[in-house]
A and B are shown apart, each in its own frame.
Chain A
Amino acid sequence: MSETLVQTVPSPMRKRRFFDGNMIAVVVLVVLAFPLPLLLEQGQEAIAIRVLIFAMLGMSWNIMSGFGGMFSFGHAAYFGIGGYTSSILLVNLGISPWIGMVAGMGLAAGYGVIVGWLCFRYKLRGTYFALATFAFAEMLRIIVQSAEVLNASVGWNVPLIQGSSWWLMQFPAGSPNYFWLGLGLMAACLVVTIVFMRSKAGRFTIAIREDETAASSLGVPVLRYKLTAIALSGAIGAVAGVFYTQYYLFIDPELGFGAYRSIEAILIPVVGGIGTIWGPIVGSVLLAPLNDITAAILRNPPPFLEFLQGRTGLDVMLYAVLIILVILFLPKGVFGTIKEKVTKR
């Protein structure tokens, strides 16, 4: 080797610690968020809980589509599978939603692997892949809507218990336990995402997103790791669905499998920052309160917005405006843009 080629620069290798910056941030987040239900009013707590559900849904989409580059337009499927599996097991067999959650995660992951495998088998990419995920999710919605055994369009009510039970994931209305349960689940999903992304599988997932042919030519088993990312994404989506159902005590085909849910899953990381660990968290904090803010405006509009009184759909309009603004001015999302600015400095 020619001497001129060798340049010695201090190694950038850092000691790999479990508690890196991201993990410390999770701990800080949990500690800061923990007292919230004791400080917030009941209505505000409901919004905070929706932030947690949105965060999990957004994280789920972000793993498959943000980190993995496989654009999903059918994430409602995972959410719905989670919610339906746990509620059916609970109502029909009295099985705890915790076990229902594990079963839902497995089913959602399995569904994702099958759909993913079919898509890759027929070489669907980009828009066609997105359309296929949408079609499969719609297919599930229609099946659920028409299958009597699944209660068709009636949906499922989670049976009320009198009192409070962690095992049955049910607490009296306004109990801070719901928030703490959601916070715990959200933090667990976040930790799993962080661990995944710094593992070999996470590195391969990014490599495949950047250049599938190059990754494959470097020995990366592309199909296996694409399906791994989809399975993990599906499992986290199912957790969001189970917690949603246990909190609202109800799920039906539209709430579980509807296209609106798939759009929500996309918007959260798009606003927060696609392909970043914290993007879905930031996105959910920004998007989850929108419904309530718009509902409040419509109920009691300020004088210059009086014409809005009693109308509906303002939240959807605001979503649209927000998305246009983000795409125009922050194409990497709020967190993505901040991260880029800080890194460049």
Chain B
Amino acid sequence: MSPIVTVEHIGKSFKGLRALHDVSFTVDAGEVLGIIGPNGAGKTTLFNCMAGLFPPSTGTVHYEGQDVTGWSDARLARAGMVRTFQLMRPFGSMTVVENVAVAAAARGESEKEAEAEAWDIVQRIGLGQYATRTSKDLPTAGLKRLELARALALHPRVLLLDEVLAGLVPTERQPVIDLLLSIRDEGTTLLFVEHVMQAVMALSDRVIVLNQGEMLASGTPEEVTKNPEVIEAYLGDEVTDADSH
């Protein structure tokens, strides 16, 4: 199977501060790739470079065989590579359905079609009861779902999920994990940055570990969690914590 995303030798420096250095990996279509690492490891920077929020200082990103390095985030999103944010960014004055309709309309649908599709997605993602409420009134779990709903309205082929479970209490996590699995089952490739090991273990086909801007390890969740370097750099007690969830 040919990779849907290829990242080659990506690096990013901010005024001399090296946030990311020579990171390379590929993701196959339909795969679920977890990206983990301690705080400041460069995970979000990697997402930002891939999703076009800012261009990488070095290296290239290929999506569906095309060099998309330096494409804007909006162009990439319309092409099907969509990211969500760790800190939820709803359009506060709009209703939940309107929020989702923005993304559907950006994909090129007419206002009427966009709203109809937004309504379907909102129902599907479990926000039906909030559909006509303004998004600023949503609880955290609802806002997380809204981030996903908006991304889904773009019919993504690759979803970059930045800490989609952060801020959720353990009982709220499993439904979101189930939701992500259903999105995967429909053929969407998922890349996700996550601190919640329960999700990393449950979802990932493969995991890459970043540390201080560099790639430390790559492999199945089991391989990675047994890697002594990874344990030393990051995981520590969290593996056992995750088992207890």
Contacts and interface: CB of A to CB of B under 8 A. Distances in A.
Contacts of A198: 111
B78 A214 contact: no
B129 A218 contact: no
Interface stretch (A143-151, A200-208, A292-300): A200-208
Contacts of A219: 74-75, 77-78, 82, 103, 106-107, 154
A211 B89 contact: yes
Interface in A219-248: 219-222
A220 B116 CA distance: 19
Interface stretch (B18-26, B117-125, B222-230): B117-125
Contacts of B73: 216-217
A210 B83 contact: no
Interface in A1-48: 1-2, 4-9, 11-13, 16
Interface string B76-107: 01100011010001111110011001110111
Contacts of A13: 115-116, 119
Contacts of B116: 13
A203 B111 contact: yes
A207 B92 CA distance: 9
A6 B111 contact: no
Interface in B199-241: none
Interface stretch (B33-41, B164-172, B175-183): B175-183
A340 to B, nearest CB: 11
Given A218-B77, A221-B74, A204 B106 contact: yes
A121 to B, nearest CB: 14
A198 B105 CA distance: 12
Contacts of A216: 72-74, 77
Contacts of B182: 1-2
Interface residues of A, number: 31
Interface in B117-142: 119, 123-126, 128-129, 131-132
Contacts of B97: 12
Interface string B47-87: 00001010000000000000000001111011000110100
Contacts of A213: 53, 85, 89
A47 B233 CA distance: 75
Contacts of A221: 74, 106
B123 A2 contact: no
Contacts of A211: 89-91
B195 interface: no
Contacts of B102: 203-204, 207, 215, 218, 220
A312 interface: no
Interface in A24-79: none
Interface in A73-132: none
Interface of A: 1-2, 4-9, 11-13, 16, 198-200, 203-204, 206-207, 210-211, 213-222
20 contacts: A1-B179, A4-B126, A6-B128, A8-B128, A203-B101, A203-B102, A204-B105, A210-B92, A210-B93, A210-B94, A211-B89, A213-B89, A214-B85, A216-B72, A216-B74, A217-B73, A217-B82, A219-B75, A219-B103, A221-B106
Interface of B: 51, 53, 72-75, 77-78, 82-83, 85, 89-94, 97-98, 101-103, 105-107, 110-112, 114-116, 119, 123-126, 128-129, 131-132, 150-151, 153-154, 175, 178-179, 182
What are the 10 tightest A-B residue pairs by CB atom distance, in nearest-first order?
Answer: A219-B106, A214-B89, A219-B77, A210-B91, A7-B128, A5-B126, A219-B78, A9-B128, A218-B103, A1-B182
